[in-house]
Amino acid sequence: MTLRVLLLGFGGVGRAICEILASRGTPGISAMGGALNQMAGKVNIVGVLTKTRGAVWDENGIDLNRLMEGSFDDPNNPHWTPPGVISSQQAVNRINSYDVLMELSVVNMEEKGFPAAQYIHTALTNHKHVVTANKGPVAFHYKSLKKVAQDNNCILRFESAVMDGAPIFCLKRAGLRSLNIRGLQGLLNSTSTYVFQRMGQGLTLENALTEAQEMGIAEADPSKDLNGHDSACKLAALANVFMDADLSPDSIRIHHHLHDIKKTGGDVRMVSSIFRTKSGLLQPTI
């Protein structure tokens, strides 16, 4: 059996996935995660959709080598469709064309995880399995998406949504299923950790940020990393999965300000924590 994958997004993660599959000649499903191990022996990327470069479709499997050579939006490619012709929602609704939706769009905290959450909901409703690297849907809509997945006997996986693919969420499904987890605490944002550390060592915010960007740690726009919003989104996702919370990033209080860090100096960290009180109330803070 061949597993047909629809890819939404062709940024760094999407390209890396296609590179891996191309280099291994579309290998066994182990490259995509153990939960799908018994479902297929081969992976075919049948669709890749982007917002600005259009879409590439081939139900027999896209030529990934050609795709990686930079011919994504080649007008001579008979499988290419210009931007705006096929929307992501229309693509997800092509229920006979794919088996797994791989949702890799940019997280949209302002829209509370949409439109990615809608794409995932539609795919699950159509009995398609979903893998996403987007923390927004997990942070804002985990309970509802989990229920849709269960109701339709589908797999929903999001391991790379927090900690860049380090095995964290699978711990809940495997080794920690019988535990009642009452709290979580940690440093959830590498940009703020590095920048604040360097500021404590005497660098200005601007110089520390430049260093982080040159090292590939910080994004071009690091505002959500430094103001705590990214950490709040990750903390909500972790709490929703590990503590069965129904938490939104909007409900998490952020107590730090950059000007305070500049004044304080020393070794400062952005610590994310959530604890459940004896009465059952959740107390999340950044």
Q: Closest Cα to residue 98, out of 27, 8, 6, 7?
A: 6
- Tell me the C-alpha distance between 230 and 67, whole Å: 32
Q: Which of 112, 224, 234, 278 is catalytic?
A: 234
From residue 149, how far is each of 104, 128, 130 by CA, in Å?
18, 9, 9
List residues bridging with 102 in a β-sheet.
7, 131
From residue 157, how far is each of 53, 60, 218, 239 by CA, in Å?
27, 25, 26, 16
The encoded tokens of residue 132 equal 């996403």
Unique residue bearing structure tokens 């009465």: 279
- Tell me the C-alpha distance between 95 and 93, whole Å: 5
Contacts of 111 (CB under 8 A, 6+ apart): none
Annotated active-site residue 234? The verdict is: yes
From residue 51, how far is each of 76, 118, 207 by CA, in Å?
20, 16, 33
Which amino acids are annotated catalytic? Answer: 234
